[in-house]
A and B are shown apart, each in its own frame.
Chain A
Amino acid sequence: MHSPCVSPPAAIPADHRSERRREDERFLTGQGRYLDDDPPEGCLFAAVLRSPHGHARILSVDVAAATESPGVRAVLTGEHWAADGLGALPCFMSLGPDAPLVVPPRPPLGYERVRHVGDPVALVVAESRQAAQDALELIVVDYEVEPAVTDMRRAVAEGAPQVWPEAPGNQAFRYRRGDPDSAAAAMAGAAHVVELELVNNRIAAAALEPRGATGSWDASSGRWLLRISGASVHQIRRELAEGVFRVPLAAIDVVCPDVGGGFGMKNVTYPEYALVLWAAKRLGAPVHWTAERIEDFTAGVHARDNLTTARLGLDAEGRFLALQVETLVNLGAYVSSLGPGPATTAATPAMGGLYDIPAVSMDVRGVFTNTAPVDAYRGAGKPEANFLIERLVDLAAARLGLDAVELRRRNLMRSFPHRNAMGAVIDCGAPLANLDRALLAADHAGFPARRSASEAQGRLRGLGVGCFLETSRGQPNEEAWLRVRSDGSMELAIGTQSNGQGHETSFVRLAADRLGVPAETLRLVQGDTRVVPRGGGHGGARSLHMGGGAIVLAVEDLVAKAREHAARLTQAAPADVSFEGGACVIRSHGGPERRMELAEIAAALAPEEALEGHGHHLCDAYTFPNGCHVAEVEVDPETGAVALLSYVAVDDYGRLVNPLLTEGQLHGGVAQGVGQALMEEARYEDETGQMLAATFMDYQAPRAADLPPFAVTFVEIPTNANPIGAKGVGQAGAIAAPHTVINAVLDALRPLGVTHLDMPATPERVWSAIRRAKSHA
């Protein structure tokens, strides 16, 4: 049985639960401060010359004319970089001793060779953007174009162009998990086996604010300051310090102002970061760079891009016996910071999704191609893992003549804790109950009538059910610091980072309510290595899970310190000091009751003795957000156009701190998942490596009008993995929506004999599938 408790959280009083975001006024009235709003006084502007070819040898780079161009201060190439003896962008990931990873050199400017369209070749630094842009056009690069490969199937085939000599067959790694023998044995004994070849399409995060970076060098202290529109400041600092510049961590600070969306694509170290720091030092002035949209499309990281063959074995009653998964993942031309992670370590614990499958094996090969590198993007590995099993479940139901809901019911995890075949222990959840709730919310029973009504209009209606299991954690451990100033104001510094998630509201509320002080007292400090010594950033839906725990500990520590100080200052016995309503209360024998506000304590302390609480949340536990989504679509069989009509989610994210913000997170995630399912594809032309969807004229991101209202229900089953019981919501929507929507589209098309469709289910793809099915009928 599932864990019993569906209880309101103790930490947050009811009237604070769904407060609106404190940061919204700033964001919505144009008061947000983004990187490009504040280029530093006297800064220079950088522009990057990029490869127009998917694969080419650089024979020469002539910068003479560009250097002479008015306002130009420097034109730098890979040769300058090499001459300065600097390092390459690293990847510090390990996939384990059994899965060695080829990490080819990635200097921030290509020399000798370029390996994808958008690969940086030269940097112009000038007194204005205009001057930098003008000079870019004067650089003459002599390329010898070589055959490119962007398609993975071709990349691993005999005779394919080789992206790296050190990676024969274009293979970056091979990673195997699970128990292949037991999976094979179970498969051999299965009454039914269904198999699918699935594409998990390459997508671009396309954050509203493009990437950008400002580098400054302070000669007097010998330190760099990097301001970026990014996240993961500590990881980026480490990669730059240890990998690129080979300096102590303390020599580089990384700071983020407000960030207009990232979704993972801004958690990684980009060549431009190294370039602006390098140029700032060489030129003795801050150097500022902002990506154009096309630079984000061609040279920002992409995501997903898996080609998977997956097999599900079932017994005669339709019980799942085994799952075998073989995946090729397209890493792109280089190994980005966390690039190998999504298809491997991040996907592993979620493999098999929310189902009880006794034997699972996975075999993943990383492939180099002439494309932009991939990295983690909202969900990272979990969407891929859930997509394949949820697609297989629907296919199996169709093959066995079973109802897809019934097949899910037979196989969903039933008792908790549940150890899945990959060794993850799912502590609590209520999948069966959530499935039922979702079907009720979606009026599943009324679907046949709605389908007939659509049919009468000449449209095909489909209903898709999709369960999901997220395994959320990201970087283990997190820290938080609470600093009280003598005016009573407090800083909550934390190593996670909001790129728009609302931490200024929810994190502050968490601390304020635990302390018993008004939220206005607290200011959130994040994304700044100068004031936040360590941190894991966001990613893997970790912020509340890891960071919330750190906040709770920091509050406890602050309270303990405040009590100690109050006792000392009033010469009371420590046991006589309690903490109530944001202040210490001293009740000594015989004496009058005395209240000491935190401000008073802070003011009374010696200058070197700050009133501070520190929480170090040591935690490597996963949480397991999960749920069930239902989508309904209508397909226009004449054109292949798909309209998403309704979307229901019944999700368990453990205890919620702020249901309103939680819902916002879910909405955004679902929108991105719908985008992946129906619209988005970062497509390349194989033999040239040209990116075919490098602007919004060709890359379709979902718009509000493409989405129906979402009907959302939260089921709060708290986890014990952290002190607040939260499981995390950051990625859930993007994990659950792709298969839910595709299952709905296929449900609509099934009567025509269509059994498979790859994402994105664009009008042409749907129309072609219908046409093919008709010609086979």
Chain B
Amino acid sequence: MYAFSYHQPKTVRQAASLLAKNEDGKILAGGQTLLPTMKQRLAAPPALIDLGKVEGLSGIELKGRSLVIGATTKHVQVATSEIVKQAIPGLAEMAGMIGDPAVRNRGTIGGSVANNDPAADYPAACLALGATIITNTRKIPAEQFFTGLFETALEPGEVIVKISFPIVSKAAYAKFRNPASRYAMVGVFVAKRGSDIRVAVTGAGSNGVFRATALEEALKKRFSPKSLEGVSVSADGLNGDIHASPEYRAHLIGVMAKRAVTAAIGK
């Protein structure tokens, strides 16, 4: 780890101004991604702006037909929240599948979304559910938010404040864990809101989370796992590593999509 200065703002405004003042400074949320990277000297932010003491950034509430989750809400809170379980049970289940208990008790939704790890789970949920990422300056639809590997639409100095998920009629997540890291090797989030059906895939795409349009089209005919039979997913543009080749990932997308649809129907 390199030396850095540490700041503990009380408000989002202070956080933003600290970010503006400290060039290359970084926001610290749960630290589950940032701190290990710093320990390995892969990141060297000269300043950390800790959101831990910022009031009102954490919490879960229903606002009309939306579920709104504060940026520093921890994975364990989402996983165990009665509100989430009622509104979008698939989202609570997804949060419960992240990492291990230690990670879920520190890691936050804002940190996960801001980080946009290509194997992270939340990006799939955001994309499939059509979430809106709300920052200190604007509202960004998930479609436009996740722009590439560890890349997002966030501008320097922009802070995620909350994330709003429209409530859908059916949604579920099926995850095939990377056996070592437990991140998603392939994770498929399926959501159905009226005739709008979205299938978002994480862990597999060499450019991060993406929508599997061929699967969405098939499901539009009938929202049933049967509709996915025989629909093959191309391995082009998928990741290959020691755990899974692109072909295997392509195959798993099909399997996980079917399982997610089955689970969604059962909800």
Contacts and interface: CB of A to CB of B under 8 A. Distances in A.
Interface stretch (B89-97, B162-170, B241-249): B241-249
B248 A133 contact: no
B102 interface: no
Q: Interface of chain A, helix or strand or loop or mixed?
A: loop
A304 B3 CA distance: 41
A698 B255 contact: no
Interface string B48-81: 0000000000000000000000000000000000
A767 B251 contact: yes
A764 B255 contact: no
B176 interface: yes
A638 B180 CA distance: 20
Interface in B222-267: 241-245, 248, 251-252, 255
Interface in A670-727: 679, 681, 683, 692-693, 696-700
A679 B242 contact: no
Nearest to B186: A639
A706 B40 CA distance: 28
B194 interface: no
Contacts of A130: 1, 3
A205 B245 CA distance: 26
A639 B179 contact: no
A693 B248 contact: no
A692 B242 contact: yes
Contacts of B243: 698, 762, 764
B176 A683 contact: no
A198 B228 CA distance: 38
Contact of B179 (A137, A683, A763, A768): A763
B41 interface: yes
A700 B180 contact: yes
A762 B179 contact: yes
A698 B180 CA distance: 5
A638 B255 contact: yes
B248 A768 contact: yes
Interface string B171-213: 0000010011100000000000000000000000000000000
Interface string A175-210: 000000000000000000000000000000000000
B179 A700 contact: yes
Interface residues of A, number: 23
Given A638-B255, A693-B242, A698-B242, A764 B248 contact: yes
Contacts of A679: 179-180
Interface string A106-145: 0000000000000000000000001001100100000000
B14 to A, nearest CB: 29
Contact of A767 (B1, B179, B242, B248): B248
A641 B40 CA distance: 31
A696 B180 contact: yes
Interface centre among B1, B41, B242, B255 (most CB of A within 10 A): B242
A70 to B, nearest CB: 12
Contact of B181 (A294, A697, A762, A767): A697
Contacts of B244: 763-764
Interface centre among B180, B243, B248 (most CB of A within 10 A): B180
A683 B181 CA distance: 16
A763 B180 CA distance: 12
Contacts of B179: 679, 700, 762-763
A500 to B, nearest CB: 22
Contact of A764 (B1, B40, B181, B245): B245
A679 B255 CA distance: 22
Contacts of A692: 241-242
B257 to A, nearest CB: 12
Contacts of B242: 681, 683, 692-693, 698
A697 to B, nearest CB: 4
A763 B248 CA distance: 10
Interface in B6-61: 40-41
Nearest to A703: B100
A693 B241 CA distance: 10
Nearest to A768: B248
B263 to A, nearest CB: 15
Interface of A: 130, 133-134, 137, 294, 638-639, 641, 679, 681, 683, 692-693, 696-700, 762-764, 767-768
22 contacts: A130-B1, A133-B41, A134-B2, A294-B40, A639-B176, A641-B176, A681-B242, A693-B180, A696-B180, A697-B180, A697-B181, A698-B181, A698-B241, A700-B180, A762-B243, A763-B176, A763-B179, A763-B244, A764-B243, A764-B244, A767-B248, A768-B248
Given A130-B3, A697-B180, A698-B241, 6 more contacts: A679-B180, A693-B242, A696-B180, A700-B180, A762-B179, A767-B251
Interface of B: 1-3, 40-41, 176, 179-181, 241-245, 248, 251-252, 255
List of 3 A-B pairs having minimum Cβ-Cβ separation, nearest first:
A700-B180, A697-B181, A700-B179
